[in-house]
Amino acid sequence: MRLPALLIVAAGMAHAHVVSMSSGDISIDGAHARYELRMPIYEMAHVTDPERAIFEHIKFKADGREGVVTERHCREDKDQALAICTALYQFPAPVEFLDVECTLHAVTVPNHVHLLHAEKTGGLRDQAIFDFSFQKATLRFRPPTPMEVAMTETGAGALRAVGGWVQVLFLASLALAARSRRELFAIGGMFLLGQVAAAAIVPRTGWLPAPRFVEAASALALAYLAVEVLLLPRAGGRWIIACALGGFHGLYFALFLQATAYRPFTVLAGAIVTEAAIIAVFALIFSRIERVAAVFRPVQVSASALLVMGMVWFFLRLKG
């Protein structure tokens, strides 16, 4: 009974995406605004009635009053594999500050991130990032202070590090694979090094792989790490697999940095501190469980779950 239940849970979790991101631009001219959202077609595939659902989950207010949608439509750009939704808004008065509420994660996947760029007449610009933890923002169209920039970028990196179950699963797998404190430092360090290298170097090459490829490759690496834990308990070189996992995870950050134009140093600094802390917490949890309930072989059970999830995730991404 345990295996079918595990398969069902793994299949449900695997429908989420490591990279689930959309972007939008809103141009404001007095009391009028034009908003355009761009989202990968595969993210939009299961959204019922996109023209209604999308604009119900992103709302713009000025001076406490919501903008009225006067026109809206969605279309698909097959060449870019994008769904593009556009809307025109009318506000009661010229916009000074713009309050935005975005809950697109509710109609896509829980770890969905929306990047919003805004511009007013006169060249004034601002931007905001929305996900399940940050659903509201106020765009003030003023240059941020250096401290605000640093806090925003570092916080964004920290949140992206744990933005979904896949990111957390990566970190848990590293703690699970470590057989000693020394190996934990080696595995965790190589994961972080691979992540930084991919995020910083790959964009300079002009090549970014498709999100589905990244996810399929990550799933295989995750499954292989589980196989080593189960079948090769004395094998060395797990740090190599950890480095590969870090590289795949770094591609997600590369995409995020490209979309936001944030500075890699501050974003990755926030991510590294957060990930290191979470790996340490998982390592502590696994060590305590193993001592208290060694008879249940918690490491082997956890590795089996990891293997099932990795393979289900891989075949789902391979198929679609």
For residue 225, what is the domain's CATH number?
1.20.1250
Same domain, 165 and 279: yes
Handedness of CA 132, 134, 139, 141 (dihedral sign): negative
Q: Please report how the helices 146-161 and 238-260 are oriented relative to each other, as an axis angle in degrees rounded to 10.
A: 140
Indicate if the pLDDT at residue 76 is higher than 60: yes
Confidence of residue 17 (pLDDT cuts 50, 70, 90): low
Sheet containing strand 124-130, strands side by side: 68-77, 82-90, 32-40, 21-29, 113-120, 124-130
What is the mean pLDDT of the segment spanning 235-248?
A: 84
Percent of the chain with pLDDT over 90: 34
Same domain, 291 and 230: yes
Confidence of residue 298 (pLDDT cuts 50, 70, 90): low
Is position 270 within any domain? Answer: yes
Same domain, 101 and 176: no
Is position 150 within any domain? Answer: no
Is position 14 within any domain? Answer: no
> Which residue reads 């806090």 in tokens?
151
Same domain, 202 and 118: no
Is position 149 within any domain? Answer: no
Buried-exposed string 266-299: b where 16+ CB fall within 10 A, e elsewhere: bbbbbbbebbbebbeebbeebeeeeeeeeeeebb
Indicate if the pLDDT at residue 164 is higher than 90: no
> Which residue reads 């849970």 in tokens?
9
* Total domain count, the chain: 2
User: What beta strand segments (E) does the chain contain?
Assistant: 21-29, 32-40, 58-62, 65-66, 68-77, 82-90, 98-102, 113-120, 124-130, 136-139
Same domain, 254 and 108: no
Indicate if the pLDDT at residue 16 is higher than 70: no
Same domain, 189 and 314: yes
Rounded Cα–Cα distance for residues 33 and 285 (Å): 51
Is position 215 within any domain? Answer: yes
Average pLDDT over the chain, rounded to an integer: 83
- Higher-confidence position of 75 and 122: 75
Q: What is the pLDDT of residue 197?
A: 93
Q: What is the pLDDT of residue 293?
A: 61
Is position 237 within any domain? Answer: yes
Q: What is the pLDDT of residue 8?
A: 38
Same domain, 187 and 110: no
Same domain, 80 and 222: no
Q: What is the pLDDT of residue 222?
A: 81
Is position 111 within any domain? Answer: yes
Which residues, 6+ apart, have CB-to-CB distance to 154 below 8 Å? Answer: 266, 267, 269, 270
Is position 15 within any domain? Answer: no
Same domain, 176 and 313: yes
Same domain, 123 and 250: no
Same domain, 46 and 94: yes
Amino acid at 264: P
Among 4-13, 27-36, 241-250, 296-305, the least confident range? 4-13
Domain that holds residue 314: 161-319
Same domain, 92 and 32: yes
Percent of the chain with pLDDT over 70: 89
- Higher-confidence position of 224 and 163: 224
- Higher-confidence position of 109 and 66: 66
